[in-house]
């Protein structure tokens, strides 16, 4: 059991707190603290779907040129929905 705890403590001390991903982790933690679970879960779903569709590309049928990547499309749609839900929840609290 002590080895397991030492391993966890080692991983916690090796976290890179200066990366841009930490901003996202902080935002997710704030959403969890304020119990905005639907926004939190939708954000996680958007990230997972975007990572999963990373290699899929929408091509133009006539010229066979890349039009847009599917992951970018998922991030845009998911981000828009998350933004709308955040604004709705903010206005519910404010009014």
Per-residue model confidence as pLDDT tens digits over 32-87: 898 888 888 888 888 888 777 766 667 666 776 777 777 888 889 988 998 898 88
- Whether 67 is covered by a domain: the verdict is yes
Q: Is residue 80 part of a domain?
A: yes
- pLDDT at site 85: 86
DSSP string, 6-72: HHHHHHHHT--TTSTHHHHHHHHHHHHHTT-HHHHHHHHHHHHHHHHTTT-EEE-TTT--EEEEHHH
In a domain, 19, yes or no: no
In a domain, 11, yes or no: no
27 in a domain, yes or no? no
The reply to whether 7 falls in a domain is no
What total number of domains does the chain contain?
A: 1
Domain span holding position 48: 36-95
Domain contains 86? yes
């Amino acid at each position: 059991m002590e080895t397991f705890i030492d391993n966890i403590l080692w991983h916690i001390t090796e976290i890179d707190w200066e990366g841009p991903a930490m901003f996202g982790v902080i935002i997710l933690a704030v959403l969890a603290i304020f119990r905005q679970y639907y926004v939190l879960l939708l954000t996680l779903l958007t990230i997972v779907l975007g990572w999963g569709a990373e290699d899929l590309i929408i091509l133009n049928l006539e010229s066979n040129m890349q039009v847009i990547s599917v992951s970018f499309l998922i991030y845009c749609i998911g981000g828009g929905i998350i933004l709308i839900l955040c604004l709705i929840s903010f206005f519910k609290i404010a009014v």
